[in-house]
Chain A
Amino acid sequence: AQSVTQPDIHITVSEGASLELRCNYSYGATPYLFWYVQSPGQGLQLLLKYFSGDTLVQGIKGFEAEFKRSQSSFNLRKPSVHWSDAAEYFCAVGANYGGSQGNLIFGKGTKLSVKP
């Protein structure tokens, strides 16, 4: 069965420090992978996505993620965290139903806190 694991429930980093959020997936075929961010009381916003090709994917707000098939991982990184990055981050794998990529299996999320 398809699944997504985010091992870290809560991470705290200092402003300006680097960030890496971990994501492992289980999927039988080539996965479509996504990272979303959710601020309190808000919906989910797509940060980046991987479908194929270059395994290092650039996203919005200075985020990037690297797909590693051998490790079944898709970790999210940012070189320098800003206070506004404090939010909850969700990794997701897409199931292709009807040719659309919104049929997603989400991990449980990682809450990011940023220390001044």
Chain B
Amino acid sequence: EAGVAQSPRYKIIEKRQSVAFWCNPISGHATLYWYQQILGQGPKLLIQFQNNGVVDDSQLPKDRFSAERLKGVDSTLKIQPAKLEDSAVYLCASSFQGMHTEAFFGQGTRLTVV
């Protein structure tokens, strides 16, 4: 079974530039999550989708971050403009909908803002 796919694996940009990350969840998983993991910290949830609707985006910095999940499958997370403090690993995860379902994580995209 294919896992959660993310691209690119690495990205280096200058501050104030824009960047986008892509995630393809496990087939059949209705729920998709984006997490931000800053070096030395645990992952922090940015946004949760159920199919193509947003369930929780309370920790998403909406002035610069945006995410979409058109057609309820793939998802894109965008940062515009990037700041130095956005340097982190961005993890995508997916799960079936329902109780007692676990989330499966992709390998992440490591973003460095210089």
Q: Which residues of A contact B (CB under 8 A)?
A: 4, 34, 36, 41-46, 49, 51, 90, 92, 96-109
Contacts and interface: CB of A to CB of B under 8 A. Distances in A.
Interface residue tally on B, bucketed by range: 20 to 34
A90 B43 contact: yes
Contacts of B43: 44, 90, 104, 106
Contacts of B106: 43
Interface stretch (B11-19, B76-84, B91-99): B91-99
A104 B103 contact: yes
B41 A109 contact: yes
B101 A44 contact: no
Contacts of A109: 41-42
B4 interface: yes
Contacts, number: 81
Given A43-B107, A44-B91, A98-B55, A51 B100 contact: yes
Contact of B48 (A4, A90, A98): A98
A101 B97 CA distance: 8
Nearest to B41: A108
Contacts of B44: 106
Contact of A101 (B30, B41, B45, B101): B101
Contacts of A42: 107
A42 B108 CA distance: 7
Contact of A90 (B42, B45, B93, B96): B42
B56 A101 contact: no
Nearest to B96: A100
Nearest to A107: B42
Given A108-B40, A108-B42, A99 B105 contact: no
A99 B40 CA distance: 30
Given A43-B4, A97-B48, A97-B55, A102 B102 contact: yes
